[in-house]
Amino acid sequence: MRVREETYWQWADAQLHSRSHDEALSDGTTLDVQVRLSRLGATQLFLGVYAGNGRAVLEEYYPSRPGETMTRALVWGVERARALATGALPLPTVAQPRKRA
């Protein structure tokens, strides 16, 4: 079970339709990438990387992905989550929650 942190709860809105991608890596790390359109039509993205025990390693929320469709933002988010989880990209030293627009 994932242990959600503040960034996820800033993202969460059950009334908005979203698309998601869940993935489990061979080391037990899981990825959760979600994309949606805001009430104003902005493409929004959430990505989470979770350790095998469910603890959040990283959560990011992008309140706007200008010029990107939901599909393109989801692909970008999955690629970023994989790169962060595998060490191809360094984890941010201090993961700051991104505020809603």
**Higher pLDDT among residues 15 and 25, named by residue:** 25
What is the mean predicted confidence (pLDDT) over 55-79?
A: 96
pLDDT at 94: 59
The model's pTM is 0.82
Q: Residue 33's Cα: distance from chain center in Å?
A: 4
- Percentage of the chain with pLDDT > 70? 92
Alpha-carbon separation of residue 23 from 14, 34, 47, 56, 65 (angstroms): 21, 12, 11, 14, 22
pLDDT at 3: 81
pLDDT at 99: 54
What is the mean predicted confidence (pLDDT) over 22-51?
A: 95
Quote the Cα angle for 7-12-87, to 5°.
40
Residue 79 has pLDDT above 90, yes or no: yes
- The SS3 of residue 98 is coil
- Are the C-beta atoms of 38 and 79 separated by less than 8 Å? no
